[in-house]
Amino acid sequence: MTAFAFDLGGVTTSEITVPIVTAFGIYLTTNIDGRDVLLDGFGLIAFASVFPMITLLGYSILTQRLHH
């Protein structure tokens, strides 16, 4: 499961996902007052890269504890 979780993080660095996530981040930060485009856009890409790994590892821990 750990190897699968790290492989999920690689999905977010593809040629299509990064421009879409970046464009979405820029859209959100330009339409919300008080937000910085550079900081929030970078944070959104970082979160998109880490979220699949955290979700799968959390699911693995949860299922392991429920079965024991």
Q: How confident is the prediction along the chain (68 residues), in pLDDT tens digits per residue?
A: 667 666 666 666 666 777 777 777 778 778 888 877 777 767 777 777 777 778 888 888 999 999 87
In the chain, domain spans? 2-61
Global confidence as pTM:
0.54
For residue 46, what are its two tokens? 């970082």
**What is the rounded CA–CA span in Å between residue 39 and residue 10?**
22
Distance between alpha carbon 3 and the CA centroid of its chain, in Å? 17
**Tell me, what's the pLDDT at 65?**
94
Length of the chain: 68
- Alpha-carbon distance of 29 to 58, in angstroms, equals 29
